[in-house]
Amino acid sequence: MRRVPLLSGSRVVLVPTSDDDVVVRPPAPPDRVVDVEAAVRDALRFPLSGPPLAALVTRGGRATILVEPAALPLPGAPQDARQSAIAVAIAELEGCGVPNEHQTILVAGGLGRRFGQRDLERLLSPPQARSFRGRVVVHDAEDETLVPVAGGARIHPVLVETDLVLAVTAAETVLHGGPGALIAACDAATVRRAAEADSLLEAAGSPAWALGLELEAAVAARAALAGVSLVLDLPRLTGTFRGYPDDPAQVSRLARSPLRAAFSLLPHTLRRDLLGGQGRRMDATGAFAGPPSVAHAEALLRGIALRGTRLEEPVDALVVGVPWIGPHVPREPLNPITVAAVALGLALRLRRDAFPIQPDGSLVLIHPLTRSFVHGTQAPYATMFNALRTERGHERLGEAERAAASDE
C-alpha cells in the first residue's frame, strides 16, 4: 500500500492508496522557460493580432495599466513574473511617448479585500517601485463613481477616461487574466454574475467569457486597448524537497521522512511560517499580446497543455489536499468558507470536457475545517458561515447576502 503525503492546512498527512487508486500528479517542470522581460517586450512589438503597442499610443497622452492580484496559482512564489511584466509595460509605454507620470496602475481585485500599502509595494520590485512616478489605484467594487458601460455593468473610470488601456495579466482561468481583469474592475453585481462559471477552463459557451468580451468591446470603443498575457508554470519547490509532488521518488522520500511527523507537532502559526518560507520558484514559458481576449485565449490554452493532467474517466471519490492559505490576496489563514472556495470553487472547476467525479461519487477534503476566523478581516466569512448553518432556503440566504453587502 502506497502512502501519499498531502497538505491538510498547515500539516502534511499521509493518505493510504491501493494499487487500484489513481494518484494524480502534476506534470514535470517545463524544459523551456523564457526571459520574461524579453518575451513581454517582443510580444508588445509583435502581437498575435492587431497593431503593436507603439501604434496604439498617443504620445504625451495617458495610459492605464490594468493588473490583478497575483492570487493564482496557489501558493505562489516570492519571485513572480508579473512583477517583471508590469515593469516592462511601464518602460515600453515610456519609450512610446507616455511619460511615467501619465501612467496609472489599476489593481482590479473584484470582490476581494482591497490591497493595503504592503501589498501595493509588491506589485513591482523595490527599485522599480521607487522609480515609478505615476498613480496606483485600487479598485472598489462599491465605488459610486464607476462608469456605466455595457449590459448594465459599471467599470472603473480610469479604464475609460484615458487614451490607452494595457492589461498585464497571467492566463490562469477564464475569470483570471485577460477580459477577466475587466470584469474584476466592475461593480459588485457584475463581478458576482461572472462568478457563476461552471468551468474555469472552458471559454466556449461560458457566460463569464461572453461578459468579458462585451466589456472588452465597450472599453475599446472609448480608448485604445491591448493586453499581454503570461503563461506561468506551477509553483515548484526548491531546496530539500525539490521535486515534490511530480517526482515519485521525492514523494516516497517525504512519506518516509521523520521530519513530517515532527513538523505536525509544531504550533499552527510556526507551521504556517515554515511552509510560507519554503523556497519556491514559478517560471514563465511564454508571453502573448494583442486584444486582451486573443492574447489570453492563446496563453490559457498553452497553460492548460503545460500544467494539465488527464483523467481517463471520472473517479468514484476524489481526495483533495487543501493548502494553508486562502485563494485571495492579501493571503490569510483558511477558514471553513475559504476551504470550500479552494476545493469547490477552484479545484473542482479547474477542469475541461467532463466533471472529474462520478454523479454518485464523493469529494474528500483533507483539512481539519477549524471554525476559526481572523478578527476583523474575516468577519464577513463568519457571518456567512453562521447564515449557512442557520438559514434555510434561497430566499433567506439571499436576504442575509443583501444585509451583508450593505453592512457598514
Residue 407: predicted pLDDT: 57
- Per-residue DSSP letter, 240: G
Query: In sequence order, which residues have a C-beta less than 8 Å from that of residue 174 and are 6 or more positions away?
Result: 180, 197, 199, 200, 201, 202, 203, 206, 208, 209, 212, 300
CATH number for 112: 3.40.50.11440
Mean pLDDT of 237-249: 91
Give yes or no: residues 262 and 292 share one domain: no
257 and 314 in a single domain? The answer is yes
Q: Assess whether pLDDT exceeds 70 at residue 408.
A: no
Residue 274 sits in which domain range? 2-25+236-281+309-372
In a domain, 195, yes or no: yes
**Between 65 and 370, residue with greater pLDDT:** 65
Whether residues 226 and 244 fall in one domain: no
DSSP secondary-structure letter at 157?
A: G
Same domain as 134, residue 50: yes
- Together in a domain, 263 and 366: yes
pLDDT of amino acid 406: 63
Full DSSP string of 103-127: EEEEE--TTSPPP-HHHHHTSS-HH
Tell me, what's the pLDDT at 392? 67
277 & 293 share domain: no
Residue 178, sorted as left (phi over 0), alpha (psi -120 to 50) or beta, turns out to be left
- Please give the pLDDT value at position 217: 98
- Percent helix, percent strand, percent coil in the chain, to nearest 5: 40, 20, 40
Do 165 and 198 fall into the same domain? Answer: yes
Q: What's the pTM value of the predicted model, to 2 decimals?
A: 0.94
Q: Is residue 140 part of a domain?
A: yes
- As for how many domains the chain has, the answer is 2
Q: What is the pLDDT of residues 30-85, one digit of tens each?
A: 998 999 999 999 999 999 999 999 999 999 999 999 999 999 999 999 889 999 99
Are 39 and 81 a contacting pair, CB within 8 Å? no
Residue 264 to residue 260: CA distance in whole angstroms? 6
Same domain, 184 and 258: no
Mean pLDDT of the 321-347 span:
90
Cα–Cα distances in angstroms (integers) from residue 274 to residues 17, 22, 80, 241, 349, in the given order: 27, 30, 20, 13, 29
Torsion of CA 44, 46, 49, 52, to 10 degrees: 60
Residues 94 and 209 placed together within one structural domain of the fold:
yes
Residue 156 resides in a domain: yes
Q: Count H helices and E strands in the chain, helices first.
A: 15, 14
Asked if residue 382 is part of any domain, the answer here is no
pLDDT for res 372: 85
Count CB-CB contacts under 10 A for residue 373.
Answer: 21
Residue 378 in any domain: the answer is no
One domain for residues 267 and 331 = yes
Q: Read off φ and ψ for residue 270, nearest 5 degrees.
A: -65, -40
User: For residue 405, what pLDDT is reported?
Assistant: 65
Co-location of 91 and 175 in the same domain: yes
